[in-house]
Amino acid sequence: MDIEFARTFLAVAAAGNFVGAAARLHVTQSTVSARIQALENRFGARLFQRGRGGAELTPAGQRFLRHAKALVQTLEQACHEVGLPAGFRGSLTLAGRIALWEGFLPRWAQWMRRMAPDISLRMEIGMEEEMIQGLVQGTVDIGVMYTPESRPGLGTERLFDESLLLVGTAPERGWPDADYVHIDWGQEFHAQFTTRYPDTPPPALTANIGWLAMQYLLRNGGSAYFPARMVRPLLEQGRLWQVANSPVFTMPAYVVYPLHNRAEALDTALRGLREMAAEEPPPA
């Protein structure tokens, strides 16, 4: 299968229409239509339901979606590994939650450039499900996440514990807060939150990524739970305030990696993560 067909399929799924996909791919709309038609002929099934509202994935399209993502990701990973620049002896792909790219993982990347300068790094943002899938499929070497799923062949280590603070955009904000944004930090956080606030009604605003909630808060005001490491600079600048008398929750961060891969680069990367984790401040 031409990988551009898979890219085109993903572009249509993301844009919701053929016109937007064509603009993203810098091709004509007729080219997009021809590629999707070729895919549908290949599978003998319609992948999109066309209509005035755009193009919606059919059940068959939904099933192909994860395969298309895997195809494109595998090719990109192959290009990364095979097309190494001169002077590099290997490559490593690390995926992590976006909140862990605030401070922690960039320090690790700097450590790797110093300790293993001949290893090419590919850095990605991901959610737990897709990181685990990438680890199983071999397109990701290391995943750093909050709620890992146990899978055969994967090793899991606890790196450090995050302190989650309830912060608001004004010093007088208290609890309950009608402008509270609930962030999906995983099952561990959800269990602690519901235990502490059993009678809290469902929030009006939710986000699956802390970065999204932060952008909303800084623009519109409100409150949310964030890792202390992530909000410490904003607290010091007076742009956020910790909500008075609010409980501090603890959430562990884990590293997940394939047990069968004993490459030197992986061992070096894991050693760096352990060293960086040891330098993280203890939970508040």
Res 48: pLDDT: 95
CATH topology of domain 161-251: D-Maltodextrin-Binding Protein; domain 2 (3.40.190)
Asked if residues 124 and 105 have their Cβ atoms less than 8 Å apart, the reply is no
> For the segment 106-149, what is each residue's pLDDT rounded down to a tens digit?
999 999 999 999 998 989 999 998 899 888 777 789 999 999 98
Span(s) in the chain for CATH 3.40.190.10: 90-160+253-278, 161-251
CATH number of 3-78: 1.10.10.10
Span(s) in the chain for CATH 1.10.10.10: 3-78
DSSP of 60-98, one letter per residue?
HHHHHHHHHHHHHHHHHHHHHHHTPPTT--EEEEEEE-G
CA geometry: angle at 267 spanning 100 and 283, to 5°?
35
- Domain 90-160+253-278 architecture: 3-Layer(aba) Sandwich (3.40)
Mean pLDDT (whole number) for 49-77: 86
Task: Pick from 83-92, 145-154, 230-239 the range whose average pLDDT is largest.
Answer: 230-239
Residue percentage of the chain with pLDDT more than 70 = 95
* pTM for the predicted model, two decimal places: 0.72
Residue 13: count other Cβ atoms within 10 Å of its Cβ: 20
SS3 content of the chain, % helix, strand, coil (to 5): 45, 25, 30
From CA 29, how far away is CA 9, in angstroms rounded? Answer: 13
Res 242: pLDDT: 97
